[in-house]
């Protein structure tokens, strides 16, 4: 075969195989057998091997995998991957509907979809070709697993038809079909290999495998259900998913009632009731129903909280419960010294996983349930993830049963426990010498949202601590290669990677260092607020209680904790040591180039659609000039920036409260 002829045949086979793939996975109407498909694929593989110059990077042959990924790159999401607010009762859905309709000032149409119990994914397409696939991660950053996602046949490598945006992201869920999961476990059982625990965890583990050919053999599947980009391809979510199916995406099919428009709360309940009965007929797991506002402009109007959209909610089906024997109550010590009682159970299968342990939370919870060793207890999964004890079968309680006596001393260092007034948990006060606290603080320090030190994980922290090489977070910066090499599983390359990671962490910005040092109640968001306001660790250290609570979202509890932290000499010594090591303890001025204080003290609500700014750009401009973004109108709001298609209810409320309503042009005048 001549080169030109081969080029044409490769193009024909590629198009034909893509169409067959679409027929099979997207519209469930295959026109050839699996054998015939495999024969065509083999022809294409042979031609690409002989004429590699004509092989497309997104050829159907890539579905078989073969790429080896030693390390998954961490990348930032273009759009944060927020989670949905969850509800377990219908009153919450009614409240949600009433709240949305009140803000909209009119009747609202919703879209109901299944809540897939899989692994969330964001897939970026450019000019119709799959560019990158990223896991949810922490919501702001995730792992690039593109090579593995390309092996999933229900995810198109090249889009079909016309009309799709040049550059966009589609999000959805990757999961194990239950039939495939069962078959794999049957094979593993036959080969005397450990069984996969449950479909969700197995899918997550499969997507992080280094060999993409193994991922291909596992036959994962997907549903993709939300499109993000600079422009909208349609005015409504339901309409957009119709288009997505035409472009080759496996989106929820309306023909199978997996997605439906609902114009009332009663129609939403009908959809929920239908799938509560029929969900066991599906070849994949769902754990509830998602309800979304259909109109995109209203979605923008409703906006977001810090964690989730205000225009969507998830209804979770009630979790399964099982009874089992509580063999023993033990106690764990956390990095803050908090003591957590743990129920050690007779292993029992619950919602697809074997449960051996469950948290008892605190002494009050044990007393409330009157849980005792030897009891038969009722266990369920909170949010279908964390096992918890919800009751005791008193009829099966042994005659010689004795009430549980909560421990009085730390199980690790034997220090007498404290219980702070107004708090439920007991604490070990031995902050600087209790091993789990020391290791826990160091593990928190190196975690992804904190210092994210490459080559250093919790197991290595444990190893270094037991070898006597580190006893606090500052010691991490004094490690040498000579100290590391004698350790088990520590070759020269891994030692170099660890030391390089430690050195690179010195460039981590102040807000993350502040979070990493582990001040109680100073989480990721609070650390950002404090860093932005005070600019340096010295300013935070010297701040009065009144100055601390004056910062947005800093209450008495957090302010007291910050003051207490810096009153301890050992903490101040630790900070001084970390400063000497070269860590960032002040905001780098470059971060605030172009900022002003023109809007200092003014609060804004942004609503509607704008021509010169996106909503996010407007909010950034407000903060850059000293203003404050707030989520809803109140008597304390100074300005409402009104764009096109702003809801009438919001305008009316602003007028009632006497809030100044301005346009984006008015805003530009304000900051110039």
Helices and strands, counts by H and E, the chain: 24, 22
Among 623, 615, 637, 630, which Cα is nearest to 671's?
A: 623
- Any bridge partners for residue 261, and if so which? 111
Quote the CA–CA distance of 8 and 12 in Å, as a whole number.
6
Q: Which two tokens stand for residue 204?
A: 């997550």
Q: Which two tokens stand for residue 173?
A: 């869920």
Quote the CA–CA distance of 422 and 295 in Å, as a whole number.
45
Give the DSSP H or E segment for 72: none
Burial 570-585 (b: 16+ CB within 10 A, else e): ebeebbebbeeeebbb
Question: Is 462 buried (19+), middle (13-18) or exposed (0-12) by CB count in 10 A?
Answer: middle
Task: Establish whether 115 is a catalytic residue.
Answer: yes
Other CB atoms within 10 A of residue 598 CB:
13
Long-range Cβ contacts of 66-71 (<8 Å, 24+ apart): 66/211, 66/212, 66/213, 67/147, 67/212, 68/210, 68/211, 68/212, 69/145, 69/147, 69/148, 69/210, 69/212, 70/210
- Do residues 235 and 295 lie in contact, with contact meaning Cβ atoms separated by under 8 Å? yes
Please name the residues in contact with 161: beta carbons below 8 A apart, sequence gap of 6 or more.
Answer: 246, 247, 248
Q: Check residue 49 and report its DSSP letter.
A: H
Catalytic residue among 115, 141, 150, 292: 115
Quote the CA–CA distance of 376 and 93 in Å, as a whole number.
35
Question: Is 86 buried (19+), middle (13-18) or exposed (0-12) by CB count in 10 A?
Answer: middle
Backbone phi and psi for residue 252, each to the nearest 5 degrees, phi listed first: -55, 125
| Rounded alpha-carbon distances, angstroms, from residue 248 to 37, 258, 260, 427 | 18, 18, 20, 56
How crowded is the C-beta side of 135, counted as CA atoms within 13 Å?
20
Q: What angle do CA 667, 669, 670 make, to 5 degrees?
A: 65
Placement of tokens 């930032």 in the chain: 76
Q: Which two tokens stand for residue 128?
A: 């119709």
Question: Is 613 buried (19+), middle (13-18) or exposed (0-12) by CB count in 10 A?
Answer: middle
Using DSSP's 3-state secondary structure scheme, residue 259 falls into strand
Quote the CA–CA distance of 263 and 553 in Å, as a whole number.
38
Backbone phi and psi for residue 98, each to the nearest 5 degrees, phi listed first: -65, -40
Q: Catalytic residues, which ones? A: 115
């Amino acid at each position: 075969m001549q080169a030109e002829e081969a080029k044409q045949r490769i193009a024909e086979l590629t198009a034909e195989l893509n169409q067959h793939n679409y027929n099979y996975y997207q519209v469930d109407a295959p026109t050839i057998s699996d054998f015939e498909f495999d024969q065509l694929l083999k022809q294409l593989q042979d031609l690409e091997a002989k004429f590699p110059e004509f092989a497309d990077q997104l050829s159907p042959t890539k579905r078989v995998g073969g790429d080896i990924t030693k390390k998954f790159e961490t990348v930032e999401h273009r759009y944060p991957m927020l989670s949905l607010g969850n509800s377990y009762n219908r009153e919450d859905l009614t409240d949600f509907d009433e709240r949305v309709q009140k803000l909209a000032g009119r009747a609202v149409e919703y879209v109901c979809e299944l809540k897939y119990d899989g692994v969330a994914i964001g897939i970026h397409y450019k000019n119709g070709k799959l560019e990158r696939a990223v896991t949810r991660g922490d919501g702001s950053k995730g792992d690039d697993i593109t090579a593995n996602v390309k092996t999933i046949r229900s995810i198109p490598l090249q889009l079909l038809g016309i009309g799709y945006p040049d550059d966009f992201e589609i999000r959805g869920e990757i999961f194990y079909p239950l039939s495939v999961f069962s078959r794999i476990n049957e094979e593993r059982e036959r080969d005397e290999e450990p069984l996969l625990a449950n479909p969700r965890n197995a899918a997550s583990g499969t997507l992080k495998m280094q060999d993409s050919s193994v991922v291909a053999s596992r036959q994962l599947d997907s549903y993709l259900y939300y499109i993000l980009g600079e422009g909208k391809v349609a005015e409504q979510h339901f309409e957009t998913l119709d288009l997505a199916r035409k472009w080759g995406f496996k989106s929820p099919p309306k023909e199978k009632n997996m997605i439906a428009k609902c114009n009332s709360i009663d129609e939403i309940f009908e959809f929920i009731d239908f799938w509560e009965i029929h969900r066991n007929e599906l070849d994949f797991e769902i754990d509830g129903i998602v309800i979304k506002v259909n109109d995109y402009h209203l979605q923008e109007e409703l906006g977001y909280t810090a964690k989730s959209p205000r225009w969507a909610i998830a209804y979770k089906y009630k979790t399964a419960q099982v009874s089992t024997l509580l063999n023993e109550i033990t106690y764990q010590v956390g990095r803050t010294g908090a003591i957590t009682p743990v129920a050690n159970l007779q292993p029992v299968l619950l919602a697809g996983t074997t449960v051996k342990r469950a948290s008892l939370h605190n002494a009050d919870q044990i007393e409330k349930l009157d849980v005792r060793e030897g009891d038969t207890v009722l266990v369920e999964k909170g949010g279908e993830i964390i096992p918890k004890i919800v009751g005791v079968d008193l009829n099966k309680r042994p005659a010689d049963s004795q009430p549980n006596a909560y421990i009085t001393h730390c199980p690790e260092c034997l220090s007498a426990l404290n219980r702070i007034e107004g708090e439920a948990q007991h604490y070990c006060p031995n902050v600087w010498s209790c091993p789990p606290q020391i290791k826990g603080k160091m593990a928190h320090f190196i975690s992804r949202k904190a210092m994210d030190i490459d080559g250093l994980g919790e197991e290595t922290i444990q190893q270094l601590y037991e070898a006597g090489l580190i006893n606090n977070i500052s010691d991490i910066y004094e490690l040498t290669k000579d100290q590391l090499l004698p350790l088990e599983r520590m070759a020269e390359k891994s030692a170099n990677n660890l030391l390089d990671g430690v050195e690179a962490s010195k460039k981590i910005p102040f807000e993350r260092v502040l979070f990493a040092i582990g001040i109680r109640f100073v989480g990721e968001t609070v650390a950002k607020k404090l860093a932005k306001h005070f600019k340096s660790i010295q300013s935070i250290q010297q701040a009065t209680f009144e100055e601390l609570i004056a910062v947005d979202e800093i209450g008495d509890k957090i302010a007291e904790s910050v003051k207490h932290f810096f009153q301890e000499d050992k903490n101040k010594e630790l900070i001084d040591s970390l400063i000497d090591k070269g860590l960032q303890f002040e905001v780098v001025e470059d971060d605030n180039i172009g900022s002003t204080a023109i809007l200092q003290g003014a609060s804004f609500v942004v609503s509607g659609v704008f021509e010169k700014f996106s909503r996010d750009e407007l909010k950034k401009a407000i903060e850059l000039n000293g203003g404050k973004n707030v989520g809803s109108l109140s008597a304390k709001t100074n300005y409402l920036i009104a764009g096109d298609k702003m809801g009438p209810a919001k305008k009316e409320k602003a007028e009632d409260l006497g809030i100044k309503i301005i346009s984006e042009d008015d805003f530009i005048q304000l900051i110039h």
